[in-house]
Amino acid sequence: MPEEHRAACVVGYPIAHSRSPMLHGYWIDRYGLDAAYRAEEVRPEDFAAFLANLSARGYVGANVTIPHKDAAFRLSEPDQRARAVGAANTLWFEGGLLRSTNTDVEGFTASLDAAAPNWDKRTHEAVVLGAGGAGRAVVYGLIERGVECIHLVNRTRAKAEAIAASFGLAVRPADWRDLPRLLDGGALLVNATSLGMSHAGQLDIDLSGLADDAVVADIVYVPLTTSLLAQARRRGLATANGLDMLLHQAVRGFELWFGRKPEVTQELYDLLAADIEGAPA
């Protein structure tokens, strides 16, 4: 193996559905790097041993996906974002230490930056649907970017209250029935629930009350255009989808492992979009 050869992987169980190898493989080819990015299927009971041997296996770092994000957090030195979310999805070595972060946070905010530059300058309040792991990353990203008030709507109110308890007064737990009032004149709506995914229930929300320059984001990427995003586009609002977030969350790992900050381009989006749309439902 030549000196400069570097390899990283995505670790999950199962892993066949992951788009990360296609995404990182595209960048490796595009920049002509002597690098590799592989998928590793690792059972939960084998994950700790896999991580302990990550370097010995020839890896300079890894992405981690379901069901290993919590274990990756516990078995590494997390940064502030990973600590805030309580889960890690990107690992790398630094001075012999295995460090970790959660790039869903910046993946989400970078997708908003791409869809609606300067969104944060005009967004003082936001409405976030969903208080699971994705909702936590979204809420933390909004707080990082200075959003002062985040109405967090969740079916199970206790989960929204737990996020409010750890993130402070900016987070206001709310219920679905509060939505019409919360969306009136609203600047930003984010769906961080699984509603809208193929085979899941649909989101049926009236967006007519949102401000004319509002932004609507959806973490779902199968389908690429959920009914929520279709409605937002019909109103002429800026939108970001789950694929935008997936592409942007991958940038940091690639840069950490391979030393080059990759670009999220329309060509890359189209490649992944065609793969998602062509996959069996």
Residues that bind ligand ATR (CB under 6 A): 130-135, 154-156, 159, 193-195, 201
Residues 40-43: contacts with CB within 8 Å, 24+ apart? 40/9, 40/10, 40/11, 40/12, 40/15, 41/12, 41/13, 41/14, 41/15, 41/16, 42/11, 42/12, 42/13, 42/68, 43/13
d(CA 221, CA 10): 19
Nearer to ligand ATR, 60 or 188 (CB): 188
Smallest gap from Cβ 55 to ligand ATR, in A, equals: 29
Nearer to ligand ATR, 131 or 272 (CB): 131
Nearer to ligand ATR, 21 or 132 (CB): 132
Smallest gap from Cβ 213 to ligand ATR, in A, equals: 27
Ranked by CB distance to ligand ATR, the top (closest) residue is 132
Sheet (strand 59-64) strand order: 35-41, 6-12, 59-64, 90-94, 97-101, 77-78
Indicate which residue of 69, 121, 159, 261 is catalytic.
Answer: 69
Amino acid found at 249: Q
Smallest gap from Cβ 96 to ligand ATR, in A, equals: 31
Smallest gap from Cβ 10 to ligand ATR, in A, equals: 17
Smallest gap from Cβ 193 to ligand ATR, in A, equals: 3
Nearer to ligand ATR, 161 or 255 (CB): 161
Cis peptide before 78, with omega less than 30 degrees from 0? no
Nearer to ligand ATR, 78 or 130 (CB): 130
Active-site residue 69, yes or no?
A: yes
Enzyme catalytic residues: 69
